[in-house]
Amino acid sequence: MTPCLPLRPFGKSVVWSPTGSEASAFDRMAIIESGVSERSLMESAGRSAAQILDKIFPKGEITIVVGSGNNGGDGIILGRTLQAWGRKTKMVGVGKHQLDSGLGNGWPMEIGDPEPVFDSSSLIVDAILGTGMVGKPRKEQSKAIQFINRSECPVLSLDVPSGLNSDNGKALGEVISADVTIAFGWPKLGTLLQGGRSQSGRLIAIEIGFPPPGPASFGAAVVTPEWALERRPIRKYDSHKNSVGSLLLVAGRQCYRHEVP
């Protein structure tokens, strides 16, 4: 009998995991040195996130809570893309907006208190704060995060849950508790560390047009199921446990040693 052919996972075997600071620096490098336009990165991020959202949450009304920075710009592009596809979508701005008015291509966005519009929503998209957050969320941002966490809707965050430190996974104030986080380029290190991991829910990383990073660009990477599959031996269906070798596992540290009486 021939060996079982496994269903391969979708994705790379090793994925970079930059801190928020590293990701922001790489953004600037891509724009300034490589000539990638900020608008094209934002368009790719918003439209790719819309495709993922539409697959995971194919029905119901969507409310997108938009901040005043680039994360909010990604949310506006996601919202007008979904509206163009026929999805019922509301975009609500938080704080004073200085975003390019052309991002929405004429699709409407409300400014004000987001809580009243949650009653009719099947999904809330968190596009308030991204990797560029410095310090804890401001008053208007904290209030919106509280509203979102109090709602009974599932929450999808763009890049990182708002309020989460993307370097270390800590919360400096109010932080979104997301069911799904769509990471742009690579999952941020803070969303993989304890604390941040529980706030991020299901992590999905999407490619948005960044140039390839050099070996010194980021300090951490994570292995994926693809990596494990490349190294796992393939067994025949009728093989016996004694015919495929043995496993030696050595783990732990001296400080964790436990003496059994």
Kindly tell me the burial class for residue 85, based on how many C-beta atoms sit within 10 Å of its own C-beta (0-12, 13-18, 19 or more).
exposed
Q: Confirm if 188 and 218 have CB atoms less than 8 A apart.
A: no
pLDDT in tens, the chain (261 residues): 444 555 565 667 888 999 999 999 999 999 999 999 999 999 999 999 999 999 999 999 999 999 988 999 999 999 999 999 999 998 888 876 555 557 878 776 666 566 666 778 899 999 999 998 878 999 999 999 999 999 989 999 999 999 999 999 999 899 999 999 999 999 999 999 988 999 999 999 999 999 999 888 999 998 887 888 787 777 777 888 788 888 788 777 666 555 544
Q: How far apart are CA 85 and CA 15, in angstroms?
A: 31
Instruction: Bin 143: left if φ > 0, else alpha if -120 < ψ < 50, else beta.
Output: alpha
| Domains of the chain as residue ranges with CATH | 14-223 (3.40.50.10260)
